[in-house]
C-alpha cells in the first residue's frame, strides 16, 4: 500500500505576497498545499501521492472509482469489505480546509481501507469540488448530489457489487476536518429530500472544522509546532478562500453557533458522534458544538483523544497516533453497528 512520501505532520506556514506567478503577486498561500494568485490562478503542489483504488489482497476490501457527475467531475471511491452479511454504508468526505485534498490521496486511501476492513462498513469516499475555484456551498451541493446518485443507483440495482452487500437502512455521513463540516451541512440539507431506499442513521464528525470571529481558548492559547496540520493562520486562510465573498467567519456554514445560524432546537439532526483531538486548536470549538447539541436535546456523544493533534489518523505515523487511530476505528464500529 502506498504511504505518505513526506513529513507526515506537514509543514503549513503562511506566506502572503512573497511568490510570483509570472509577474502576478500571490494573494493567499498555505505553504506546500495551495497558492492563490491575484489573477485567480491556483496552484496545488502534489504534497501527498495520488494512488489508484488498489489495496493489498490480505485486507479483504474491494475498491473501485465511480464518476458521480461528468459535468462537475465529481467522483467517488468505493470500499467494500468481504462479508457474509449486509454492512452499514458510510459516506465519507475528506479534509483539507475545503481547498485541498482528494479521495485519491494515499493517506485517505490507507485510512479508509483500514476503516472499512476493521469497522465492518462499506465506505463511499467523495471527491468533491474544491475552493476557491468552487467556493461553498459547492461541496455541500456535491454531497447532496452523491446521496441522490446512490439512491438512484440502489433503486435500479445497476451496481449489485456494492448494493448487494449494503444495508441501505443503515447509512451514515462522515468526514474529518472540512469533511466533517460538509457531513454536518449536507445532513441539514437532506431533511427535505426523499432518499428511499436509503435511511440515514447518524453522522460521524472527526475534528469538525468550524470557526468564528471570536477566538476560543484553544485557538488563542494552544501551542502548535511549525509542522502542525492546522494552525490558526492556516485556518483563517482556508475560510477566506472557501466562504462566499463578503462574508466572515460568523457565517452559518463556518459558525453553526453564531447569531445568524439556525437554532439547534429547530434543526432535524441525526445522532452524532464527534471525535476530538486534545492537541487540536479546534478542541474547544468542537466541545462547544457538542454541548450545544446536547442542550438542544439532540443525541450526541463525543470522544477526546489525548496527546494527538489535528488529522492524526491520516497524517501521523507515530506509535501514539496509531494507537489512537485504532481506538477511533473501534468507536466508529460501535456507533455504526449499534
> Which residue numbers are catalytic?
177
What is the bridge-based pairing of β-strands 272-277 and 300-305? Answer: parallel
Which grid coordinates belong to 337? 453497528
Report the alpha-carbon distance of residue 236 to residue 219 in Å, rounded: 11
Report the alpha-carbon distance of residue 80 to residue 233 in Å, rounded: 38
Helix (H) or strand (E) holding 258: none
User: Backbone dihedral region of 173: left (phi > 0), alpha (psi from -120 to 50 degrees) or beta?
Assistant: beta
Helix (H) or strand (E) holding 100: none
**What is the secondary structure of 126-171 as a DSSP string?**
EE---TTTS-TTHHHHHHHHHHHHHHHHHHHTTTHHHHTTEEEEEE
Helix, strand, coil tally for the chain in percent (to 5): 30, 25, 45
Of 139, 172, 165, 14, residue with least CA distance to 72: 139
Report the alpha-carbon distance of residue 241 to residue 138 in Å, rounded: 13
Amino acid at each position: 500500500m502506498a504511504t505518505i512520501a513526506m513529513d507526515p505532520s506537514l509543514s503549513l506556514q503562511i506566506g502572503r505576497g512573497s511568490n510570483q506567478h509570472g509577474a502576478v503577486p500571490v494573494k493567499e498561500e498555505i505553504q506546500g498545499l495551495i497558492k492563490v494568485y491575484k489573477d485567480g490562478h491556483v496552484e496545488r503542489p502534489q504534497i501527498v501521492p495520488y494512488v489508484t483504488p488498489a489495496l493489498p489482497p490480505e485486507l479483504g476490501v474491494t475498491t473501485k472509482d465511480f464518476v458521480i457527475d461528468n459535468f462537475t467531475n465529481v467522483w467517488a471511491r468505493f470500499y467494500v469489505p468481504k462479508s457474509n452479511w449486509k454492512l452499514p454504508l458510510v459516506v465519507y468526505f475528506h479534509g483539507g480546509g475545503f481547498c485541498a485534498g482528494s479521495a485519491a490521496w494515499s493517506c485517505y486511501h490507507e485510512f479508509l481501507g483500514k476503516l472499512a476492513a476493521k469497522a465492518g462498513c462499506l465506505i463511499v469516499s467523495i471527491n468533491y469540488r474544491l475552493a476557491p475555484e468552487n467556493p461553498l456551498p459547492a461541496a455541500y451541493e456535491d454531497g447532496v448530489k452523491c446521496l441522490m446518485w446512490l439512491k438512484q443507483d440502489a433503486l435500479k440495482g445497476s451496481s449489485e457489487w456494492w448494493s448487494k452487500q449494503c444495508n441501505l437502512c443503515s447509512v451514515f455521513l462522515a468526514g474529518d476536518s472540512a469533511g466533517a463540516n460538509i457531513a454536518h451541512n449536507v445532513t441539514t440539507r437532506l431533511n427535505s429530500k426523499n432518499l428511499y431506499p436509503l435511511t440515514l442513521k447518524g453522522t460521524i464528525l472527526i475534528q469538525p472544522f468550524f470557526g468564528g470571529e471570536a477566538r476560543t481558548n484553544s485557538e488563542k492559547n494552544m501551542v502548535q509546532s511549525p509542522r502542525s496540520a492546522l494552525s490558526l493562520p492556516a485556518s483563517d486562510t482556508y475560510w477566506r478562500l472557501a466562504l462566499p465573498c463578503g462574508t466572515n467567519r460568523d457565517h452559518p456554514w463556518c459558525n453553526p453557533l453564531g447569531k445568524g445560524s439556525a437554532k439547534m432546537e429547530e434543526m432535524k439532526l441525526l445522532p452524532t458522534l464527534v471525535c476530538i483531538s486534545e492537541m487540536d486548536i479546534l478542541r474547544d470549538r468542537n466541545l462547544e458544538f457538542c454541548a450545544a447539541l446536547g442542550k438542544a436535546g439532540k443525541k450526541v456523544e463525543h470522544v477526546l483523544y489525548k496527546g494527538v493533534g489535528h488529522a492524526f489518523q491520516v497524517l501521523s505515523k507515530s506509535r501514539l497516533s496509531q494507537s489512537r487511530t485504532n481506538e477511533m476505528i473501534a468507536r466508529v464500529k460501535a456507533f455504526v453497528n449499534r
